[in-house]
A and B are shown apart, each in its own frame.
Chain A
Amino acid sequence: MEAKDIRQEESSLVDGCLSGNSKSQELLYKRYAGMGYALCCRYAKDKDTAADILQDGFIRIFNSLDSFRKDGSLEGWIRRILVNTALEYHRKQATIQWVPEPEDKDFTPAPPEVIGSLEAEELMKLVQALPTGYRMVFNLYAIEGYSHREISELLQISEGTSKSQLARARTQLQQQVEILFGEKPYAP
């Protein structure tokens, strides 16, 4: 399907949702629920929390659909709302710790190609295992593509804190992969 057709389809879907059509709402939800739930799982510690964030996020999406400008990407707009909902959830719960954890200097970081051999589900578990601050910054910077300036504004931290949290997150991820492969050494 061409991009123009997708836009048209999305536009009619949005119109249906705005008129209160429950079928359109369900269709829109089903189209983006898989992407949304995976996104929420990356920001949440467990699946139950992710489901709560997804629920709140989609309610917010349906309630503010009239502010969506149809010339943009609907998926991108939905992603942004879900990310904001996840960040808001953590702000409300006050679960983010910005104090860096003590670093273990005695480990050999796993090479990126070894990390690349892992499945998406395994990578998801590694991200979920990160401390909340590391996880937020890593998700925003590495996966969503936000800049450190944007992250600092979103999370109300300094850019330096954002950078250091990102560096620590990367290190911890590589360390976790190293531990994961500790019992079954990878081929260099």
Chain B
Amino acid sequence: MHPEQDPIDDLFRNRLGNQEVPPPPGLWEEVQAGVQVDKVFKDKLNPFTLQPPTSVWKRIYKNLHPNLRPVFLQPTFLRYASAAILIMTVGMWFWTDNEEVIGLKSSNIRPLSLAFKSVTPESRSTAIPDFQTNVRPQWEESAQNFVRQTNVAHSSPLNEAGIQTMDNPIQTKQNSLAQISESPKETSTNPGPETAPLPSIRQLLREQPISTAATNPMAQAYPSTPALSKTSHPAGDAWMLSSVFSPDINFSSPRNISSGLDRQQNNSLQYTAGVRVGYALNERWTIQSGVQYADQGTVLIPRGEQDNYTGTSSFSRMGTPMEVKAQVIDIPVVVRYRLLGDKWRWFVSSGMNANVTGGTSSVLIGTGTELKAGKKLSVSIEPAFRRSIESLPNYKPNTLSIFTGIHYRLN
């Protein structure tokens, strides 16, 4: 006998090995039910699909391509955007040249800087003969024509200047815009005494260029280098943070001329200040954008049109016309092209100012110079002309700005 074999094993094997015990009642049903439950879930859930949130693919994509930038930051896109801004700027520059503003052809617009030279409160009437003898009568006649025509529906009393002294309803205000814009046709046939055609802005600019080497002290002090050196200039793909400040001089409309006088009396300064972020696409092209605040001084407008001036405008109800403080916020988008220089860089710039507070948007053309003041720091000065591409009633500021900037390279 094998030592591990025991007779008791045989006993149990013979008795229990082939014995059948019926399962408890319902067990088969349970097994069947379990299988059926599985089948139901499998049949319904296996083909079932659920669309995941879109953020999942974005995260996967970012993980798979960690060095890929968003589309709007890719150099190709930025190059196309720069070209588009440049083309739009040039297009709008010429397009707006044919517009008429407040009953005056743009060729009759005179820069305020000319008035500034000789105007004092005492000599106000003689210092700006054009305004007293030409512009103001035209403006008042336009306003009177408008009031006469709208007075049928709104018999508001007029003051001495012919301006309605009560606030006009909105509908009347809309009519007034249409009427005033038509008025130059009438006034042009009956010009005021001693009228002489005023030079256009462009003509004046041609005669007195803003930033040629002859007039620009920076250009005289730092003559440009003939060849572009590639030694220390950022070779593209560089981010800059800039703060800019510019004293501004407004041109163009008679209200601005008036406001200039007021401003001169109040000794207030027109200026623009803001911050910009710039991206150097390559050695020559840079695109900048940001936000800037502009104080455009005081504007005189007739009553009834005050609602057209929003934002931080404040109103004074004393006298006619009313005074409006024009303080606006712009979003500039500027493309800069480097012409010459290394430590001293010379550039031209162009772009747009999109106004977000109810003022006027404008296109911008400028030229300037930038000096490297350290490894990451540079300063610049940039005379630029900003031309409005839309006009509020009786207010279309065109501005000469002298942008000064401090730039910090971020990478």
Binding site for B on A (CB under 8 A): 22, 25-26, 29-30, 33-38, 41-42, 50-51, 54-55, 58-59, 62, 109, 111-112, 115-116, 118-120, 123-124, 127, 138, 141-143, 145, 167, 170, 173-174
Contact = CB atoms under 8 A, between A and B. Distances in A.
Contact of A26 (B48, B55, B57, B59): B57
A79 to B, nearest CB: 10
Given A34-B50, A123-B45, 9 more contacts: A22-B61, A34-B51, A38-B45, A38-B50, A51-B56, A124-B45, A142-B37, A143-B45, A167-B34
Interface of B: 33-34, 36-42, 44-46, 48-53, 55-57, 59-61, 63-65
Interface of A is mostly: helix
B52 A26 contact: no
A167 B37 CA distance: 11
A6 B50 CA distance: 22
A38 B56 contact: no
A116 B61 CA distance: 39
A147 to B, nearest CB: 13
6 contacts: A22-B61, A50-B52, A51-B53, A123-B45, A124-B48, A141-B38
B52 to A, nearest CB: 4
Contacts of A42: 45
Contacts of A145: 42
B60 to A, nearest CB: 5
A115 B61 contact: no
A143 B49 contact: no
A62 B64 contact: yes
A37 B61 contact: no
A59 B37 contact: no
A77 to B, nearest CB: 16
Nearest to A33: B52
Contacts of B57: 26, 29-30, 33
Nearest to B65: A22
Contacts of B45: 38, 42, 120, 123-124, 127, 143
B46 to A, nearest CB: 6
Contacts of A174: 33, 37
Given A22-B65, A29-B57, A38 B34 contact: no
B56 A143 contact: no
B37 A112 contact: yes
Contacts of B38: 141-143, 170
Nearest to A142: B38
Contacts of B52: 33-34, 36-37, 50-51, 54
A21 B184 CA distance: 63
A110 B57 CA distance: 40
